[in-house]
Structure 1
Amino acid sequence: MRQDQQLRDQLSKLMRCGQAFTSLQEVLGDIQAADAGKTVKNLPYTLWQIIEHMRIALYDILEFSRDPGYKSPTWPDGYWPEEYAPANQAALEASVQKIRAGVETMVTMVQDPANDLFEPFAHGNGQNLLREAMLVAEHNAYHLGEIVLFRRLLGKWK
């Protein structure tokens, strides 16, 4: 039982970020809507599009993990917003808050001992909660790194 809880705790830390990379809160916490819609030469997306992509992908993973009847969006169009910028600061903050809440929902799922981390989902192709939790952490880490670099190119990172 001790090893099982240690694994759940480590997965939770990994998803919450901040061990080997900058935390979600620090990277996303002070982005302004005006900056979120700016473009950078040779990059095909804006900060807003990356943030929304993170939110959409996170909820796709969550819903797949908890709803056998869930249908994923069409790749790639369903995972990326068409809009280059948020409608306003409130829309940006709502998206960031949904990312935070989604991570916490996955942490709750991982921490629930009734959820077997290793049992393949009946509706998948061998995926299990362990794999999906690691996917959340990996996907978020990748895009948080992109956001830091993007913000540096905009001159909006310390």
Structure 2
Amino acid sequence: MNILQAALGGGAIFPDPETLLDGLTFEVATRTVPGVPYTLADLLAHLSVTQRASLDLAAGRTDTWPEGLDLWPGLADERALDACLTDLRLGLAEAQALAADPSGRARDLLTDLAAHSAYHWGQVALLRRVLGEWPQ
């Protein structure tokens, strides 16, 4: 595993997304924290949509960022959360596979994705702690 793969999927100094998602319920994901403008569900939906758009670019399925993309789509119910978590997990696996031997363009896009994701995974970790819902 190279450092880019570790940065995308957890390892080295980066949190493992599976640990951050362990035992997460819709009730916890949608719980608000005073003074915080988003929920865990909001963060996860944002991570999922930006990850998908970035992977489409890195894999060459598209040449441009999607116009009008809703970057903070929210999640309406438990089914939407489950779909989001599945998409996140599949995207993480795809990102790691692409990062094994990326083209120059893919490397740049995946590096940007890794930095963006690390920022938001850190927010997920913090919110889980604040909510008293840190995975054991």
Q: Would you say same fold, with TM above 0.5?
A: yes
In which range does the TM-score fall when normalised by the shorter chain? Answer: 0.7 to 0.9
Say which structure, 1 or 2, has more relative contact order (CA 8 Å, 6+ apart): 2
**Cα distance, 1:74 vs. partner?**
2.7
Determine if the alignment matches structure 1 residue 67 to structure 2 residue 61: yes
Q: Which runs of 4+ in 1 moved over 3 A?
A: 68-71
**Cα distance, 1:73 vs. partner?**
4.1
Equivalent pairs counted in the alignment come to 134
Instruction: Give the gaps of 5 or more residues in structure 2.
Output: none
CA distance in 2: counterparts of 1:37 and 1:24, whole angstroms? 18
CA distance in 2: counterparts of 1:96 and 1:27, whole angstroms? 11
Determine if the alignment matches structure 1 residue 99 to structure 2 residue 76: no
**Cα distance, 1:39 vs. partner?**
0.8
CA distance in 2: counterparts of 1:21 and 1:129, whole angstroms? 20
CA distance in 1: counterparts of 2:124 and 2:62, whole angstroms? 32
Match of 2:45 in 1: 52
- Bigger radius of gyration: 1
Change in Cα spacing, 1:86 to 1:31, as seen in structure 2 (3 Å) is farther
Match of 1:124 in 2: none
Instruction: Give the gaps of 5 or more residues in structure 1.
Output: 1-7, 119-127
Determine if the alignment matches structure 1 residue 146 to structure 2 residue 135: no
Return the letter of the residue paired with 1:130: R
Identity rate of aligned residues, in percent? Answer: 25
- On the 8 A contact 1:73/1:79 being kept in 2, the answer is no
CA RMSD of aligned residues (A): 2.0
Change in Cα spacing, 1:145 to 1:71, as seen in structure 2 (3 Å) is closer
Query: What is the TM-score with the length of structure 2 in the denominator?
Result: 0.86
CA distance in 1: counterparts of 2:32 and 2:84, whole angstroms? 19
CA distance in 2: counterparts of 1:40 and 1:18, whole angstroms? 28
Return the letter of the residue paired with 1:94: A
Query: What is the TM-score with the length of structure 1 in the denominator?
Result: 0.75
**Cα distance, 1:19 vs. partner?**
1.6
Aligned with 2:77 (options 71, 82, 87): 87
